[in-house]
Amino acid sequence: MRPNKRHCALAALIVAGLSIGWLAAGAFLSFFPMEKLSTDRFIIESQAPFFTKRAQDGQVFLDPVQKTAPALWAWRGQRTFSLRRNPGTHRILVIGESSAEDIGYRLAEFAQEMRKADRLQIVNLGIGAGSLEWTAEKLKEGLQYRPDAIVLVFGHNLFYTHPLVSSWLADILRHFGKGKIGHLLVRAFVQNTSLNIAPPSRIKAFDSLIGDIASRGSPSSIPVLLATLPSNEMVPPGISSGDLSDERYLEAVFLRRSGRRGAAVLKLGNAVTESPRAWWRFCLGLWYLEDGHSLKARQYLGAALSSDPYEHRATPEINDFIRESSRRHGFLLFDADRWIKDKSPYHIPGWRDMADNQHLRRFNFRLEAWHILNALKHEKWPEIHLPPEPQRTQPFHHGVYFWDIFGFFISQLNQLTREGQSPQKITDGVAVFLPNPQLSPESPRSRRRRPGTRSARSRRSGLGLLPA
């Protein structure tokens, strides 16, 4: 039955009414402040496919999808390639968190520099701030692209949780989620998943993901490489309520500033034994490092990392689990954690090699990508010709990375201010971020005093660079 004019007019009226209502609602909402839309855009784009299929000349090609969320920047290094792999072509699937995203980008750079981008194809599905659930979803997507090697770099974000969006809802939100009305739609339909994030349950979920990878790849078919995650142990842990106001901590700080260094270490050590708080362990580690006891410093700084209440860095326990999983399933392993510790002074990863709390500096990411390619070459692909191992051209200097460290100080200061701590108390007790050569493990403690200058300890106390 052909629609009459009345039905057509009614349909046009409904469409016009909905359009006017949409525009009116958007204009009305523009007068009210609202959170940034970048988080919603990130949620939507992270779960959307990273490649689209295109048929041409009897072949299926995979075109990279442009992402607009700032955290999804590595799509720029992706290339279009055929779904069917030609003989002699290797395709590496990289999944995981932001470290995986950066490593995938560096792998693509090597492919370009080797002028073999058509022979060494990188499918980079790493997601900045990606969670375990999102990584599992990207594994399912990546296997559709027929890789012949899988690289998993995940561990810092084990306790992150993100909402999962169905594919049909993601398509709708991608088209209508760019304005404030779309923002409200995301908030209405996309809710954070309420997961039990206790360590045993998250480790079990991580083990399930690795087991899923093992069921699809094995040493005889698809090589799988796991990487451990180095953490910056010179970044202070989160401060819990009462850490800065406890009388035991304040007494230890007073003893330290009064010159009774040994008594201060003993006092704070007893307090840590009674109440092993992350911030106290961190301060004790710094004091031992300043006094030249590197072994004890490494012990307490590592313990502070393990007990950090913020849980935004891979702990030694997580890295041990990755090593054990690699051994149990017969996977390749690049132990980036031990690699960075071996090259760090006193085996304490700090600001020389790390850009922030969990990310390596660009050169180290590039070097890690080279080691991953080298491991795949020696185990599975001997025909690949790699360039020589990259060499650092600029020596490290403490003042170069001042703003990286100062930025962390400001972020922690803002966080603690929101939690009700006194700013004056914070600046007195937390300002340990500045690149002080006597404090940082990147340089030896012994330095000669120049004529006409104050002693190292008086300089540190005067600038408030130490927690005591």
Q: What is the pLDDT along the chain (468 residues), one digit of tens a residue?
A: 456 777 778 888 888 887 787 667 666 555 545 555 556 677 778 888 899 999 998 899 999 988 877 778 877 788 898 999 888 899 999 999 999 999 999 999 999 888 777 789 999 999 988 899 899 999 999 999 999 999 999 999 998 877 676 656 666 665 655 555 555 566 555 544 444 455 778 899 999 999 999 987 654 578 999 999 999 999 999 888 789 899 999 999 999 999 999 999 999 999 999 999 999 999 999 999 999 999 999 999 999 999 998 888 999 999 999 999 999 999 999 999 999 999 998 999 998 899 999 999 999 999 999 999 999 999 888 888 888 888 876 555 444 444 444 555 555 555 554 444 443 433 333 333 333 334 444 443 333 333 343 333 333 333 333 344
The CATH number fitting domain 41-233+313-379, selected from 3.40.50.1110, 3.30.450.70, 3.40.630.30, 3.60.21.70: 3.40.50.1110
The Cα–Cα gap between 318 and 324 comes to: 10
pLDDT, residue 448, reads: 38
pLDDT, residue 167, reads: 59
SS3 for the chain is CCCCHHHHHHHHHHHHHHHHHHHHHHHHHCCCCCCCCHHHHHHHHHHCCCEEEEEECCEEEEEECCCCCCCCCHHHHCCCEECCCCCCCEEEEEEECHHHHHHHHHHHHHHHHCCCCCCEEEEECCCCCCCHHHHHHHHHHHHCCCCCEEEEECCCCCCCCCCCCCHHHHHHHHHHCCCHHHHHHHHHHCCCCCCCCCHHHHHHHHHHHHHHHHHHCCCCCCCEEEECCCCCCCCCCCCCCCCCCCHHHHHHHHHHHCCCHHHHHHHHHHHHHHCCCHHHHHHHHHHHHHCCCHHHHHHHHHHHHHCCCCCCCCCHHHHHHHHHHHHHHCCEEECHHHHHHHHCHHHCCCCCCECCCCCECHHHHHHHHHHHHHHHHHHCCCCCCCCCCCCCCCCCCHHHHHHHHHHHHHHHHHHHHHCCCCHHHHHHHCCCCCCCCCCCCCCCCCCCCCCCCCCHHHHHHHHCCCCC
List CB contacts of 24: < 8 A, sequence separation 6 or more. Answer: none
Which residues of the chain are in CATH 3.40.50.1110 domains? 41-233+313-379
- Using the Cα atoms of residue 162, residue 166, residue 171 and residue 175 in order, give the sign of their dihedral: negative
pLDDT, residue 277, reads: 94
Taking every pair of Cα atoms in the chain, the longest distance, rounded to a whole number of angstroms, is 101
Of the candidates 157, 178, 148, 140, the residue with the CA atom closest to the CA atom of residue 36: 178
pLDDT, residue 369, reads: 96
Query: Which amino acid type is present at position 10?
Result: L
The Cα–Cα gap between 47 and 43 comes to: 7
The Cα–Cα gap between 7 and 464 comes to: 77
Q: pTM here?
A: 0.79
pLDDT, residue 194, reads: 41
The Cα–Cα gap between 331 and 154 comes to: 15
- Per-residue CA distances from 383 to 88, 132, 179, 321, 432 (Å): 9, 34, 51, 32, 49
Structure tokens at 321: 């689990």
What region does 321 belong to: left with phi over 0, alpha with psi -120 to 50, or beta?
alpha
